[in-house]
Amino acid sequence: MTAPETTVERVGIVGCGLIGSGIAEVAAAAGLDVRVAVSRPASRDRGLALLRRSLARSVAKGRRTEAESAALLANVAFTTDLDDLADRSLVIEAVSEDERTKQDVFGRLDKIVEADDAILASTTSSIPIMRLGRATSRPDRVVGMHFFNPVPAMRLVELIPSLATDEAVTRRATAFVAGTLGKEPIRCADRTGFVVNTLLIPYLLAAVRMVESGTATAAVVDQAMVLGCAHPQGPLALADLIGLDSVAAIAEALYAEFREPLYSPPPLLSRMVECGLLGRKSGRGFYAYP
């Protein structure tokens, strides 16, 4: 089946954490009708708080006015019923980086989203898109759309068609990311980690191993890369920003597919995740956060 070249106007988002709320912000800023589905009222409250904080920062920095922020917020509606995404022309899944959870979402969306030409997209940072598409009866409509945190500031989006994705779907997704959202899409092969994380995760894991072995402290490792390599942020501060649970999950997915030692999560990382030291999101990781 070949998709018609239609414009995306009604966007659905499943999940409203850092990535989901960021996508909601940039889609609403583009004037789109955005509906965010969350699992419970508490998730809605947290997602709305994230969105409001981001808008307040943009006003404080002079990037938009209070009136513009209010207009943007008016474009976003929340629901706790996934059925309310039935009329969407694009639905972007942004739940936790867990394959079974994502497959469950796609299986449900397949039964809910009504339009034959609707696109079902995933923000997964590591899971092959074919595995998610197979949870639906329309794998030709499923594509990867990997945004980076913080979504309003980061320009890159990895677009990942599977072997089953219709080429017209990929073209529409590319036009949406580039033309509607004003981001820079790159097309990636449907392999675990895609482009960015295949390069980034071994670097982050090497930094963790240096701390684990006592070669250097987290602060020294980060200082070395900032001052010695002109990186804007050290690898361990970056890992804290991404979330150590996310770093571990991506590493495990890469190792499961390629079985290369450089992708294997170091024991220190695994222990930190087990005891809830997840980085900025939990208030403590390699560093403490207020």
Does the active-site annotation cover 246? no
The strand pairing partners of 156, in sequence order, are 184
Cβ atoms of 16 and 42 closer than 8 Å: no
CA 141/CA 38 separation, integer angstroms: 22
Residue 69 falls in the annotated catalytic set: no
Q: Select which of 25, 93, 97, 158 is catalytic.
A: 158
Please classify residue 201 by burial: count the beta carbons closer than 10 Å to its beta carbon, then call 0-12 exposed, 13-18 middle and 19+ buried: buried
Q: Phi/psi of residue 145, each to 5°?
A: -140, 80
Q: How far apart are CA 234 and CA 279, in angstroms?
A: 14
- Catalytic residue, candidates 25, 54, 126, 146: 146
Residue 146 annotated in active site: yes
Q: Please count the other Cβ atoms lying within 10 Å of the Cβ belonging to residue 214.
A: 7
Distances (CA, A) of 148 to 135, 144, 170: 25, 13, 19
Q: Is 231 one of the catalytic residues?
A: no
| Both tokens assigned to 90 | 């694009």
Closest CA to 29 of 77, 68, 60, 87: 68
Neighbours of 268 (CB within 10 A): 15
Select which of 125, 126, 162, 246 is catalytic.
Answer: 125
173, 202, 220 from 226: Cα distances, Å:
35, 18, 10
Torsion of CA 90, 92, 93, 97, to 10 degrees: 150
Hey, which residues are catalytic here?
125, 146, 158, 197
